[in-house]
Structure 1
Amino acid sequence: MTTTYYVQDVLSQVKLAINEQRSKVSTSRTLLLNDNAGPNKARATTQSLRELGIQVLPHPAYSPDLTPCKFCLFPILKDRLAGRKFSRIQDLAKAVNSELRTIPEEDYQGVFRKWQIRLKRCIKSHGEYFEKL
């Protein structure tokens, strides 16, 4: 993912979702947990997030135990895309986007619940490494 893609495509979808939710929920504050990937830390990204009024939560430099994509979404994608070959990065991106769109909303909500459990487990272990839940 590039910074341009993240700012123009991803954050534009985030903005639409926030606007939709704000009409239903009485909150003006939006928090986002980004990992420390380059596009997420780029100046253009941080500026766009600031303009959108989104506060980014601090993320540890390396914490795979706390990254929802690592423990929930990547295994699903790995299973669904296993054995497929892609000659172009665009084809891989299209396949990944297609697969992510087939995951039901309830499953994404489950990912969030599992993430909350992991955060509590991390606090309980004082930030030390822990095995699967």
Structure 2
Amino acid sequence: MATVFWDSEGILFINYKDKGVSITGEYYASILERLKEAIKQKRRGKLTKGVLLLHDNAPVHKSRVALAALLKVGFDILNQPPYSPDLAPSDYYLFPKIKKELRGEYIEKEK
């Protein structure tokens, strides 16, 4: 599984979860730390302007550990209204790019 963060200029950071690893508040907090570093490298000056993350309603995003990590890295949250699949930005940006890149490729199942 991959967690992908992007902005209007393109993909900022991709985290690939190892098989058998659970996604917890601690795991997500570690991703946020690495995302902050990726933004520093790829979008110089953007951190000082502020980072706004659009979160869905996944329990891991609402965990105390994740919320504390968001405060620590200085990101603000834009919550997605519940039951609003029409507001999924991944449908308009991320998935079309992935489909284009994978067109004609064969992906073998993991055993």
TM-score past 0.5 threshold: yes
Matches within 5 A, 1:1-133: 2-3=23-24, 4-8=26-30, 10-20=31-41, 23-25=44-46, 27-74=48-95, 76=98, 80=102, 84-87=108-111
Q: Deviations over 1:12-39 (max 9, x none)?
A: 2221134346753583422111111122
What TM-score results when the alignment is normalised by the length of structure 2? 0.56
User: For the residues of structure 1 that align with 2:47 and 2:23, how far apart are their CA atoms?
Assistant: 33
Identity of aligned residues (%): 38
Q: Which has the higher helix share?
A: 1
> How many residues were matched structurally?
85
Unaligned segments of structure 2, at least 5 residues: 1-21
Whichever residue aligns with residue 61 of structure 1, its letter is: P
User: For the residues of structure 1 that align with 2:93 and 2:49, how far apart are their CA atoms?
Assistant: 29
Q: Deviations over 1:83-118 (max 9, x none)?
A: 63223xxxxxxxxxxxxxxxxxxxxxxxxxxxxxxx
Partner of 2:7: none
Unaligned segments of structure 1, at least 5 residues: 88-133
For 1:46, what is the secondary structure of its paired residue? helix
The structure with the larger Rg is 1
Whichever residue aligns with residue 36 of structure 1, its letter is: N
User: For the residues of structure 1 that align with 2:106 and 2:94, how far apart are their CA atoms?
Assistant: 14
